[in-house]
Each structure stands twice: as structure tokens, then as C-alpha cells.
Amino acid sequence: MRINPSASLLLVVDIQSALLPAIDGGEAVLGHTGWLIDVAQTIGIPVLATEHCPQRIGVTDARLRDKFRPEAIVEKEHFSAVSEGALLKAPDAERTQWIVTGTEAHVCVQQTVLDLLAAGRQVFVVDEAVGSRRPRDKELALQRMQQNGAEIVSREMVAFEWLEKANTPLFRDVLKRFIR
């Protein structure tokens, strides 16, 4: 199925300052996620973030945190961001298509994705924008999420499906600023 811009939102799971240095390819995950946030905000796609136990792990990395409105950040203690109920009550959470990035792929991302699927959402996991401490854990998590109904996509797949067509001022703006 295609990603529909009017039905989708971007969810950034736990890209937090104390965890990020331990993530295999963490700087790349951060960079790809920042790119997706910027594209989403340019197009007008809502963006939400979660922070797992921020008093211990730290808040969302400073390079991303300023991109979020305070009400768009959901704190949590459960690994799944859905378990405590606040995520599905956040602004724009009624949207049916969730594009997911974050860490760790095999823990908080995976449990959140499985619960979003169980809650009837269509979920798209951005391969290059999720990470784990060990590459094998990420690989297995992507396989498991896909086996359970999530679609594994690239950041450009998401961007072009949000854009829908060429030869518009928005397309030219995104192409000029983000697509290289």
C-alpha cells in the first residue's frame, strides 16, 4: 500500500542523548531521522517523538529536540510507546499511517510497531532511520516487524509518497532542499 500524506504521521522513537552513542551507526540514524523530520515539516506531516525514561537516559538528542513542539513529545516507561496510553492520545495520533524511526529497533521500536499494528494502524519502518546496538538485532527486528505486517521502507520512498507528484512548488522546494 502507498503512504498517504493526509493519513500519515512520523514517529521518532527514543533517539536520546545517552543511548545514541551505543547505537551501531547511531549518527547515521540521527541524520536520516533529522532529514525525515525536516521533509515532514516542510510538507506539513505531523511529527511525534517518544522519550524512554528521560530522567535516566536523557531527552531526545538536542539536534532533533528543538524540531518538536512540547506536546508532541511523549514520555514513557514501557518499552512500547503504546502501552501507557499517552501516545495514542497525542496530537494527530488518530492518523492511520505511522512512519517510524528510532532506537532500539529490537526493543522500543519493535514493541511500539507491534502494538500500533494491533491497534489497527498501518506502519512503515524506515530502514536507515532505525538502529540497535548490534546489527543482528536490527536485522531480526526488521524481519519480525515485516512478518507481522509492517512495511520496511527507505526515507526517499516516504518523501516521494508524501509528495505524490512532480511539477509543483512543494516538489521543487523539497527536491532542491533535500533530494540530492
Q: What does the pLDDT average to over 123-147?
A: 98
Q: What does the pLDDT average to over 161-168?
A: 95
Domain membership of residue 34 (yes or no) is yes
pLDDT > 90? residue 172: yes
pLDDT at 111: 98
Domain region containing 117: 8-178
pLDDT level of residue 120 (50, 70, 90 thresholds): very high
Domain membership of residue 2 (yes or no) is no
Percent of the residues in the chain that have a pLDDT greater than 90, as a whole number: 97
Alpha helices in 16-151 (DSSP H): 26-43, 54-57, 62-65, 110-118, 135-147
pLDDT > 80? residue 180: no
Q: How far apart are CA 95 and CA 99, in angstroms?
A: 11
Q: What is the pLDDT of residues 36-94, one digit of tens each?
A: 999 999 999 999 999 999 999 999 999 999 999 999 999 999 999 999 999 999 999 99
Q: How far apart are CA 170 and CA 2, in angstroms?
A: 19
pLDDT level of residue 142 (50, 70, 90 thresholds): very high
Domain membership of residue 1 (yes or no) is no
What are the E-state strand segments in 53-171? Answer: 73-76, 97-103, 122-131, 151-153
Which residues are paired to 47 by β-bridges?
10
Q: What are phi and psi of 108, to 5 degrees?
A: -65, -40
Domain membership of residue 30 (yes or no) is yes
Domain membership of residue 113 (yes or no) is yes
pLDDT at 5: 97
pLDDT > 80? residue 109: yes
pLDDT at 65: 94
pLDDT > 90? residue 171: yes
Q: What does the pLDDT average to over 96-123?
A: 98
pLDDT at 149: 98
> For residue 64, what is the domain's CATH number?
3.40.50.850
pLDDT > 90? residue 99: yes
Domains of the chain: total = 1
